[in-house]
A and B are shown apart, each in its own frame.
Chain A
Amino acid sequence: MTLLAWAIVILRVALPVLILPLFVVPLTWLERRGAALIQDRPGPNRVGPFGLIQPIADMIKMFFKEAITPTSADRFLYLLAPAIAVFAALSTFAVVPYGSTIKISGLEVPMLGADLSIGILYIFAITSLSVYAIVLAGWASNSKFSLMGGIRSSAQIISYELAMTTAAAGVILASSSFRLSDVIAMQQGTWLGIIPRWNVIPQFFGFLVFFISAFAETNRLPFDLPEAEAELVAGYHTEYSAMRFGAFQMAEYVNVMVVSAIMATLYFGGWSLPGFHPRGVLGALASLLIFMAKSFFFVCVFIWVRWTLPRFRYDQLMKIGWKALLPLALANLLWIAALEMWRMRA
């Protein structure tokens, strides 16, 4: 392989890993200002114009905090948990296409980390591994609040993982492939000339299930009982301070961004728009901007919901996941299977 090919491979792999944490910084600003807007108060506005330097100040504060380790904690597992959380959050983005292809000196380079034949399955595999971060954090902290929070959170995540996977199965069925580039390819074109062929329209309930499960998977309100401040001190990250807590927060924000990107790709056509055929570098950049706009929309919805809805009680949460979302996702799967059979009747 030539040097250029190696450079391209390294860039494709390293770019999302390096860029995603950078996007966390403005995301924290957006969260705090968005919260303030919804709660009818100014929000941070002292540090720099409109409080734009606030996240930098927060980062500096977090760097200089004292990292306290509980004495009876299992030290190795205690330090491993935030590492697993960050690793899982960043790795999930490897298969998400963030743009169309770019031509670099004759080579067609698709804009994603790796176009695996098992794309969507890879995402669920990495999500399954992220459960370990929470379970280990809860266990290794050797504190009752942490253990309760860790067990609750992991039970919540694996329950909603089921509904999420079944909803995604509908998308897989419609695209006849696990590859995310195939999923986007199946969403090209329009119905009746104006309605884009996005998966959200035939699979609206599947999208609803996926959307709600995404909140549960990322531990965001209304599903954040495991880390609820008032109920469980801080759940599984009670005993974590300074950069280790920072790592968990970063993992949570990266998860929000990645799951928004996945929703945009699976249900809203990813980087494509009907009638838009990207040509050359400008076309690729345009597709990147379209992708970012769609993901950004979902990130804003995440923030909006967080500060609007109250928290679910734990038994309500489990009830919704198993008794409402899973049957709805299965019904969606049956509906999509019927649609596919009707489409293939010729």
Chain B
Amino acid sequence: MTAGRLIFDLAAAAAIVFSGLMVVGRNPVRSVLSLVVAFFALAVCFVLLLAPFIAALQVIVYAGAILVLFLFVLMLLNVGREVPDKNVRPIQRVLGSAAVLVFAGLLLGMFRHSGSHVPAAADPVDPAMLGDPAALARLLYSDYLLHFEAVSVLLLAALVGAFVLARREHAS
């Protein structure tokens, strides 16, 4: 059990625990904060899986921007307090739990056979350089240039869309 394995196990456990807290929490603000911790733990897992650049992006974009946006919306609309549970329909709970159990069972069944014969890549990269940002950038701007440009257009569209949707309707 090397130090890397130990840290991965701890971080993964933390991610699972805090995600569970997020799902069962009653207070939306606390749910968002539990998810922040879970995402931070996931970033630690990414570092151990030789992807430090993605880990930094995860913290900057996911934990540091998207979830802050969630918090802002919650606070500005003042829905941060406990949400009471009126008109719960039991059939929703039953069907939902059944669906989750079936799906979890499927995943577990699949995972028992995964990892047994994973083919190595055509030209495997030296592990130390796997997460090298310069190499990733070279890939992004050569093989994946179209994807890159498409995502920029998507972000522009999302920007305009969010602005238009959240605007207050003016009578004039």
Do A and B touch directly, given a CB cutoff of 8 Å in the complex? yes
> Within 8 Å of chain B (Cβ to Cβ): is A178?
yes
> Within 8 Å of chain B (Cβ to Cβ): is A304?
no
> Within 8 Å of chain B (Cβ to Cβ): is A59?
no
From B53, B56, B68, B75, A132 is in contact (CB under 8 Å) with: B68
Roughly how many angstroms separate A116 CA and B72 CA in the complex, as a whole number? 32
Q: Which B residues are in CB contact (< 8 Å) with A154?
A: 68, 72
Question: B residues 28-78 with Cβ under 8 Å of A?
Answer: 29-30, 33, 36, 40, 52-53, 55-57, 59-60, 63-65, 68, 71-72, 75-76
Pair B56/A118 contact, Cβ less than 8 Å: yes
Q: Which B residues are in CB contact (< 8 Å) with A178?
A: 133
> Within 8 Å of chain A (Cβ to Cβ): is B132?
yes
* Min CB gap B63→A, angstroms: 7
* Min CB gap B37→A, angstroms: 10
Roughly how many angstroms separate A178 CA and B56 CA in the complex, as a whole number? 12
Pair A125/B72 contact, Cβ less than 8 Å: no
From A74, A135, A151, A158, B65 is in contact (CB under 8 Å) with: A158
Roughly how many angstroms separate A121 CA and B76 CA in the complex, as a whole number? 30
* Min CB gap A308→B, angstroms: 32
Contact indicator per residue, chain A 85-123, by CB within 8 Å of chain B (1) or not (0):
000000000000000000000000000000011100110
Q: Please report whether the interface of chain A is mostly helix, strand, loop or mixed according to DSSP.
A: helix
Q: Which A residues are in CB contact (< 8 Å) with B40?
A: 129
From B64, B71, B76, A128 is in contact (CB under 8 Å) with: B64
From A74, A147, A176, B134 is in contact (CB under 8 Å) with: A176
Q: Which B residues are in CB contact (< 8 Å) with A241?
A: none
Roughly how many angstroms separate A289 CA and B64 CA in the complex, as a whole number? 34
Question: A residues 175-221 with Cβ under 8 Å of B?
Answer: 176-178
Pair A147/B75 contact, Cβ less than 8 Å: yes
Pair A121/B56 contact, Cβ less than 8 Å: yes
Q: Please report whether the interface of chain B is mostly helix, strand, loop or mixed according to DSSP.
A: helix
From A118, A122, A124, A135, B71 is in contact (CB under 8 Å) with: A135
Roughly how many angstroms separate A54 CA and B110 CA in the complex, as a whole number? 67
Question: A residues 52-88 with Cβ under 8 Å of B?
Answer: 74, 77
Pair A158/B60 contact, Cβ less than 8 Å: no
Roughly how many angstroms separate A125 CA and B29 CA in the complex, as a whole number? 21
Interface residues on A, range: 20 to 34
Roughly how many angstroms separate A313 CA and B116 CA in the complex, as a whole number? 62
> Within 8 Å of chain B (Cβ to Cβ): is A167?
no
* Min CB gap B1→A, angstroms: 16
Pair A117/B52 contact, Cβ less than 8 Å: yes
With A122-B56, A177-B134: A129-B75 Cβ-Cβ less than 8 Å: no
Q: Which A residues are in CB contact (< 8 Å) with B57?
A: 121
Pair A139/B29 contact, Cβ less than 8 Å: yes
Roughly how many angstroms separate A218 CA and B33 CA in the complex, as a whole number? 23
Pair B52/A116 contact, Cβ less than 8 Å: yes
Roughly how many angstroms separate A151 CA and B29 CA in the complex, as a whole number? 15
Pair B56/A131 contact, Cβ less than 8 Å: no
> Within 8 Å of chain A (Cβ to Cβ): is B25?
no
Roughly how many angstroms separate A131 CA and B72 CA in the complex, as a whole number? 11
Q: Which A residues are in CB contact (< 8 Å) with B59?
A: 125-126, 128-129
Roughly how many angstroms separate A177 CA and B132 CA in the complex, as a whole number? 10
* Min CB gap A192→B, angstroms: 30
Q: Which A residues are in CB contact (< 8 Å) with B64?
A: 125, 128-129, 131
Roughly how many angstroms separate A116 CA and B47 CA in the complex, as a whole number? 11
* Min CB gap A332→B, angstroms: 19
Roughly how many angstroms separate A138 CA and B133 CA in the complex, as a whole number? 36
* Min CB gap B156→A, angstroms: 15
Measured CB to CB, the nearest residue on chain B to A80 is B33
Pair A121/B134 contact, Cβ less than 8 Å: no
Roughly how many angstroms separate A149 CA and B52 CA in the complex, as a whole number? 34
Pair B56/A77 contact, Cβ less than 8 Å: no
Roughly how many angstroms separate A77 CA and B133 CA in the complex, as a whole number? 36
From B30, B55, B60, B75, A135 is in contact (CB under 8 Å) with: B75
Pair B134/A139 contact, Cβ less than 8 Å: no
Measured CB to CB, the nearest residue on chain A to B3 is A1
Q: Which A residues are in CB contact (< 8 Å) with B132?
A: 117
Pull 12 A–B residue pairs with CB atoms less than 8 Å apart, ordered by A. A117-B53, A118-B52, A125-B56, A125-B60, A128-B60, A129-B40, A131-B68, A135-B72, A138-B75, A151-B72, A177-B134, A178-B133
Q: Give the B-binding residues of A (Cβ under 8 A).
A: 74, 77, 116-118, 121-122, 124-126, 128-129, 131-132, 135-136, 138-139, 147, 150-151, 154-155, 158, 176-178
Q: Other than A117-B133, A118-B53, A125-B64, give 15 A-B pairs with Cβ distance below 8 A.
A: A74-B29, A77-B29, A117-B52, A117-B131, A118-B55, A128-B59, A128-B63, A128-B64, A128-B65, A129-B59, A131-B64, A132-B71, A151-B72, A154-B68, A177-B133
